[in-house]
Amino acid sequence: MNEKFKPYIPDDKVMPELTVTSVVTGLIMAVIFGAANAYLGLRVGLTVSASIPAAVIALTVIRVIMKRDSILESNIVQTIGSAGESLAAGAIFTMPVLFIWAGDGIAPKPSLVTIAVTALLGGLLGVFFMVPLRKALIVREHGVLPYPEGTACAEVLLAGEKGGSSAVSVFLGMGIGAVVKLVVDGLKVVQDSVVFKLEALKTEFSMQVYPALISVGYICGYRISAYMFAGGLLGWFVLIPLIVLFGTDVIMYPNEVSVAEVYAAGGADAIWSNYIKYIGAGAVAAAGIISLIKTLPLIVRTFKDSVKSISKSDKGSGLRTDRDMDMRFILAAVIVLVFAIWLVPVIPVTFFGALIIVILGFFFTAVSSRMVGLVGHSNNPVSGMTIASILIAAFCLKLSGDTGVHGMVGAIIIGSVICIAASMAGDTSQDLKTGYILGATPVKQQIGEILGTIVSSLAIGGVMILLDKAYGFGTDALAAPQATMMKMIAEGVMNGTLPWALIAIGVFASVIIEILGISALPVAIGLYLPFSLSSIVMLGGLIRMFADKKNGKENDGAGSGILFCSGLIAGEGIIGVLLAALTVLGVTDVIDLSRLVSAGNIPAVILIAILAFSVCSAAMKKS
């Protein structure tokens, strides 16, 4: 253990930690934040860390409501609670592909058991692979690897020793987010977007009316929001006008009809869905691979250092704050998981596929665990790792003779397990960093991660099935951008039926953007998504820029603005999942009041202004 570092709670002091209260509260939050993040990621292609809002709510429940004074109990709550968000982030990048294929009649629809088992195996692999790395990355590298989210979360919990008033921002945001979502998508008395047709340019300006999207812009900040907005401008104000103006009589993919006919039938939206979406997919795939290549030297060095540190790792000092899960149990658990991946009927992979999972899984979880220490969980290139995994898996399966639908499903399942494992490993390392600073018992946090993984894997299956039945994946309501991109990759490798010319345009667009010294991934996401999403995200980014200048600070990492926006996301996500359930039950038609009102753009503009004002007010509040 790092002898120079003294945790907040000394080793010789024992406090309540893994209690019934902390476990139950954490599991409830894991389900809530997992569902909210799944909904957000499927809509906009981005997820947000739940660690800080989970820590704030933990303080409120444990310290303020229940009058308990154990900071380590609060730490367990946020440890378990953030597991749901990370598992959801990994699952939504890949598993919706199976639903899309089912809708196309290509493959059978995945069952709740298939989703839960895949998520569980990936999540547990991520946690178990991370445990041997704790001493190497968290202890030995303390002061070298900052682990930004883990450190920020520890600061929130330490600040909470003086009181939990900052939770008001989270709960207020949850309330407003829930009300707006209910008004727009439940009662439907306000239309969900503002649209202005621009006939001269053969396009349109649009902006959606959703709290989560303006919150994403605020949390990501001006730069990332501006990159996304630039991608949207490129797609809707450059490429769409060019395609319509110069390709009028040209017959293009996919329906053997001319561009003029496509535009006449559906306007700019039809051009986007038939052409721009594929260009955007190529851009996103290329940007993900480029981000992976750029970090390749760091990845290789990271993996070598991690493995070397494990081999040099001692057996522990015997101190409470240095106690990990038994390595013999970890090894046995990993072996059992590998055989489970191979033998469980609901996961259609061969032994060769299971071998690919364990090799790539260990490599990418080791990389992920260290990289989040450098760049943070939000900037971890998990999507790039997943793209690489699916490409490798698809080529290996095809070469081994596992082709067709079975091969495509196998590649997606392999990618799903690896993506979830890498995401969970990154989250686990951040949580263990928080615990190291506070003086938590590592083995109890690791047990908490396992509990959070088990419950979240059960919940994510139900959430995805609900969302698919209510909205459908790959639709305007739930674009599922990463998942549809993974679908294209798997199909492209196996049968080569994609419009490669359009995809190649996107690839070279990302290359050009990278040559200019700009990170291509957010620009590519903006190009891939509808402009109405990028524009509202940009509004949130502008508010963040204004707030940072006004408050005289560069980073609002744990401030009122971030907490309020986290609440907005959670509130909208919860109501989104609830409305999905009501849609399946046929109840939403009863509360639909759209037939009684004539909404138009004006009410939507007013609601956007109210949202902007509320975010701005929260950002100006001193945290």
pLDDT in tens, 259-310: 888 888 888 988 987 888 788 878 877 887 786 677 667 656 656 665 665 5
Q: 199 exposed, middle or buried (CB, 10 Å; 0-12, 13-18, 19+)? A: exposed
Q: How far apart are CA 207 and CA 199, in angstroms?
A: 17
Distances (CA, A) of 306 to 5, 149, 324: 21, 20, 17
Q: What is the pLDDT of residues 379-393, one digit of tens each?
A: 565 766 777 788 788
DSSP string, 20-34: HHHHHHHHHHHHHHH
Work out whether the CA dihedral 269, 275, 281, 282 comes out positive or negative: negative
Name which of 170-184, 192-206, 447-461, 567-581 the model is least confident about: 567-581
3-state helix, strand, coil in the chain (%, to 5): 75, 5, 20
pLDDT band at residue 317 using 50, 70 and 90 as cut-offs: low
pLDDT band at residue 496 using 50, 70 and 90 as cut-offs: low
Predicted pLDDT of residue 555: 47
Predicted pLDDT of residue 365: 81
Mean pLDDT of 211-221: 84
Residue type, 257: V
Residue type, 533: L
Q: How far apart are CA 28 and CA 459, in angstroms?
A: 10
| Secondary structure element (H or E) that encloses residue 122, with its range | helix 112-130
Q: How far apart are CA 295 and CA 412, in angstroms?
A: 24
Chain-centroid distance of CA 505 in Å reads 26
Q: How far apart are CA 260 and CA 251, in angstroms?
A: 9
Query: 203 and 268 in contact (C-beta within 8 Å)?
Result: yes
Per-range mean pLDDT, top range of 72-86, 347-361, 482-496, 602-616? 602-616
Q: Is 204 helix (H, G, I), strand (E, B) or coil?
A: strand
- Select from 80, 100, 150, 93 the least CA-distant residue to 119: 93
The 10 Å Cβ neighbour count of residue 250 is 10
Residue type, 133: L
Q: What is the pLDDT of residues 574-614, one digit of tens each?
A: 787 777 777 767 777 788 887 777 668 899 999 999 999 99
Question: Angle at Cα 570 formed by Cα 565 and Cα 576, nearest 5°?
Answer: 125
Q: Is 315 helix (H, G, I), strand (E, B) or coil?
A: coil
Q: If DSSP states are collapsed to H, E and C, what string results for 206-258?
A: EEECCHHHHHHHHHHCHHHHHHHHHHHHHHHHHHHHHHHHHCCCCEECCCCEE
**Average per-residue pLDDT in the chain?**
82
Between residues 493 and 117, the one the model is more confident about:
117
Q: How far apart are CA 519 and CA 414, in angstroms?
A: 28
Q: What is the dihedral of CA 202, 203, 205, 209, to 10 degrees?
A: 140
Predicted pLDDT of residue 48: 62
In the chain, the percentage of residues whose pLDDT exceeds 70 is: 87
Mean pLDDT of 448-465: 92
- DSSP-assigned beta bridge partners for residue 208: 193
Per-range mean pLDDT, top range of 275-289, 347-361, 418-432, 580-594? 418-432
Predicted pLDDT of residue 80: 92
The 10 Å Cβ neighbour count of residue 328 is 8
**DSSP 8-state secondary structure symbol assigned to residue 197:** E
Q: How far apart are CA 347 and CA 360, in angstroms?
A: 17
pLDDT band at residue 316 using 50, 70 and 90 as cut-offs: low
